[in-house]
Amino acid sequence: MPVEEFVAGWISGALGLVLGYPFDTVKLLGFFKGMSFPIASIAVVNSVLFGIYSNTLLALTATSHQERRAQPPSYAHIFMAGCTGGFLQAYFLAPFDLIKVRLQNQTEPRAKPGSPPPRYRGPVHCAASIFQEEGPRGLFRGAWALTLRDTPTMGIYFITYECLCHQSTPEGQNPSSATVLVAGGFAGITSWVTATPLDVIKSRMQMAGLNQRAHRGVLDCIVSSARQEGLGVFFRGLTINSARAFPVNAVTFLSYEYLLHLWQ
C-alpha cells in the first residue's frame, strides 16, 4: 500500500489548518490557546482521509497517483473513493471533534465575570473527564451523525476538486498551482455547504449528555431542532464554514499535490 499519500495528507492537513486557524478562533471566540491539539488531530485525520482515498482509487482503477493524469478515473470511482475516505476518517475524527465542540461550548459562561471556572481545563483534561464520566463510548458521542455528515460530502469534496482541475487543464498535463488552489478552495466550499445541516445536528448530539437534553437519535435531533427553531437552524454557521473552507482547502490540496510531485 503506497504510503506517500498518508504522509502528504498529514502535512497538507496541518498546513491548511494553520491558515484556517484565525477563522476557527473567531468561531471559538478565542478559546484555544495552543495549536498543538488541532494540529495533531487534523494531521491524523487528513492522513487517513487522503491515504484511504488514494488507495481506494488505486484498488478501483488500478492506477497510482502518478498515472492518474494520463488515465483519469471516472467520476463514479472518484466519488466512491471519497466516500470511503470520508467514512473511515470520521471514526478517527470523532473523539477529536467531540473535544473541540465541548471546549468551544464552554466559552460562553467563561465570558461572564464571577462565573464558575470552566468544566474542562484543556483538551487532555476534557478527554479524561469524558472517559471517566461517560465511559469509553462517550468519546464517540455524535460519531454516527459525523459519519453521515462526512461520507457523502467527502465524495463531493474530491469530485469537485477533480472536476475543476480536469476542466482547466490540458489533457494529460498536471494542473497548475493556480488551478489547484482554486479547485481545492471550491472543493472545500461545496463540501462544507452540503455538510452544514448535518454539522449542526452532529454538534447538538455531541453536546447531549452534558447540559443539553439527550436526543433519541439523529432523526429525533433533526425533527426536534426543525420543530423548535425552524428550517433556518440547518444553515447555522454556513457563512463562516464557507469562508474558512476556501483558504484551508486551497492550501491543503496545493501542498498535497506539491509533496506527491516532489516524492514521485
The residue ranges that bind ligand M3L (CB under 6 A) are 13, 46, 149-150, 153-154, 157, 188, 191-192, 195, 245, 248-249
d(CA 27, CA 191): 18
Q: Rounded to whole angstroms, what are the CA distances from 218 to 150, 206, 211, 262?
A: 14, 11, 18, 43
Q: What Rg, from alpha-carbon coordinates, does the chain have? A: 19
CB of 128 to ligand M3L, least distance (A): 25
CB of 79 to ligand M3L, least distance (A): 13
Q: Considering beta carbons, is residue 165 or 245 the nearer one to ligand M3L?
A: 245
CA 24 to chain centre: 13
CB of 227 to ligand M3L, least distance (A): 25
Q: Considering beta carbons, is residue 90 or 222 the nearer one to ligand M3L?
A: 90
Q: Considering beta carbons, is residue 27 or 69 the nearer one to ligand M3L?
A: 27
DSSP track, 54-111: HHHHHHHH---TGGGTTSPPPHHHHHHHHHHHHHHHHHHHHHHHHHHHHHHTTHHHHH
CB of 103 to ligand M3L, least distance (A): 17
Q: Which one, of 103, 107, 126, 124, lies nearest residue 115 by Cα?
A: 107
Backbone angles phi, psi at 212, to 5 degrees: -105, 160
Q: Considering beta carbons, is residue 207 or 256 the nearer one to ligand M3L?
A: 256
Q: Which one, of 250, 87, 48, 241, lies nearest residue 165 by Cα?
A: 250
Q: Considering beta carbons, is residue 100 or 149 the nearer one to ligand M3L?
A: 149
DSSP H or E stretch at residue 156: helix 143-167
CB of 199 to ligand M3L, least distance (A): 7
Q: Considering beta carbons, is residue 93 or 260 the nearer one to ligand M3L?
A: 93
d(CA 46, CA 197): 22
Q: Considering beta carbons, is residue 130 or 145 the nearer one to ligand M3L?
A: 145
Backbone angles phi, psi at 208, to 5 degrees: -60, 145
CB of 229 to ligand M3L, least distance (A): 22
CB of 50 to ligand M3L, least distance (A): 10
